[in-house]
Amino acid sequence: MEAVNTHADHGHHDRGHDDHDHKPTGLKRWLMSTNHKDIGTMYLWFSFFMFIVGGIMALVIRSELFQPGLQIVKPEFFNSMTTYHGLIMVFGAIMPAFVGFANWLIPMQIGAADMAFPRMNNLSFWLLPPAAFLLIGAQFAPGGGAGVGWTLYAPLSTQAGPAMDLTIFAIHILGMSSIMGSINIITTLLNMRAPGMALMKMPMFCWTWLITAYLLVAVMPVLAGAVTMTLTDRHFGTHFFNAAGGGDPVLYQHIFWFFGHPEVYIIAIPAFGVVSQVIPAFSRKPLFGYASMVYATASIAILSFMVWAHHMYTAGMPVQAQLYFMYATVLIAVPTGVKVFNWVATMWRGSLTFETPMLFAIGFLFLFTLGGFTGLVLSITPVDVQLHDTYYVVAHFHYVMVAGALFSAFAGIYFWLPKWTGRMYDEKLGRIHFWLSLVFFNLTFFVQHFLGLAGMPRRIPDYALQFAEFNAISSVGAFGFGFSQLLFLYIVIKTITSGEKAPDRPWEGADSLEWTHLPSPAPFHSFVEPPVIK
């Protein structure tokens, strides 16, 4: 994606004084880039490619589940698809997409020339393609991919074939990339803000990424520990998770979910940041309760470390522990509710317009809130014991991940595309993309709540006849949703190649008012000058 230099770029953001003499072009520009914009662009394209790969895996799953019986793939391959669909979507699609946003926007929003460590920035991107190669290549290892579920639970993962080793190696590389990216973001935000840009004046997107980066630095090593212990169990005769050797398979679950629950918020919190920029712009109002948003986000991050075992109610923990984890999980709903209230209050009596970014942001608000409610349902121990490992859980986390993270990523891309490319996207096609995505998403996942309540277990290639109708509806929705994303690809390419030139202020009126100088700066005013409160 050629980032076209336009009037929209405030100031020259390239590192080094010799750039004027020999600026790398062609392949060199991308391979050796230390420019935060180019690296952000590569992250976004990479995440879209992985989104397509993970999406194809999802369509394999839904094809098999279109009707009962074994039709299309062998059960082992089906299990492999569920495993790698999850891993690729989480580590290959959603996380790199938001790191792409961070690279593009953070330096511009705080008035910095670039990221703090431009070369480390380059390295943290170029670790991703080899990891992707390993994850996709694991399907072709002897014995096929590792069909152990994306959580890689022992003892299954300690006994799986060679694909498991490739998967563990891929996770290590992805973790290294995440940690380096996070160190870069933290250093940039703490040390490189323009004069006058106090922490409590940063745009909400910067705050969410500061908090997310701390989460990543804290939990990625925990995941690395879990998969390393699995690796030594597999090859070096340790017995961490082997009961016969004095180990405990449930220990794996504790270590994994101590990473896994904060990971949910690592994905959701940058999404909150994007939505917190989009909604004020199209409401023509400052974000309601800026300080409370910052504190709510920080408290969500801290609480996310205290609730890990709510994924494990059925693993045989003492009833006192179940009670604690239930209360702690319900408590997380409070700061999340504060954020939803603030977004709604921002729109309240605002001068609203409904361009594509705003449509996706409102879609996020509705569906993420629904996903939050089903999460509250699952936090209640006796209810979860019934619904554990059913399609109700699948529906719940897809409402959080797809309607939450993915919809907000779409909102951000449509919102900042004029700034990134200097061209306007096709508004009519953007709205069609939104409505197709919204309808097909709900068609796919809403019915899965009913399947789960009726008792259909997840991760199975075959099912009882009573689940046939809802599964057929879900599969049709999945194909509709998947093909709708090709329209999105077309819109982006059309924008880059032949879009109309973007005006200085693409969202007419969205940043021309007095409120651009309040603590939550509008995304389109000059990023280089810090906002001044009049």
CA torsion, ordered 484, 488, 490, 491, to nearest 10 deg: 130
Q: Is the peptide bond before 155 cis (omega within 30 degrees of 0)?
A: yes
Task: Decide: 223 and 256 in contact? Cβ < 8 Å.
Answer: yes
The distance in angstroms from the start CA to the end CA of the chain is 39
The amino acid at 458: R
Provide Rg for the chain, Cα atoms: 23
For residue 424, with 0-12 CB atoms within 10 Å meaning exposed, 13-18 middle and 19 or more buried, which class applies? middle
Helices (H), 192-248: 204-235
User: What's the token pair of residue 369?
Assistant: 């809130």
The amino acid at 532: V
Determine the Cα–Cα distance for residues 510 and 104; give it in Å rounded to an integer. Answer: 20
Which residues carry out catalysis?
Answer: 85, 114, 150, 177-178, 261, 263, 265, 276, 310-311, 336, 339, 458
Determine the Cα–Cα distance for residues 179 and 370; give it in Å rounded to an integer. Answer: 31
Angle, alpha carbons 159-161-164 (nearest 5°): 90
The amino acid at 472: A
CA dist 482 to 56, 275, 290, 411, Å? 8, 23, 36, 18
Per-residue DSSP letter, 65: T
The Cβ of residue 149 has, within 10 Å, a number of other Cβ atoms equal to: 17
Q: Which helix (H) or strand (E) holds 500?
A: strand 500-501
* Tokens 């969202």 -> residue: 507
Residue 325: name the closest of 303, 297, 296 by CA: 303
Task: Decide: 212 and 205 in contact? Cβ < 8 Å.
Answer: no
The Cβ of residue 508 has, within 10 Å, a number of other Cβ atoms equal to: 10
CA dist 166 to 140, 146, 148, Å? 11, 9, 13
Q: For residue 406, what are the contacts with CB-CB under 8 A and spacing of at least 6?
A: 94
Cα 250 to the center of its chain, rounded Å: 27
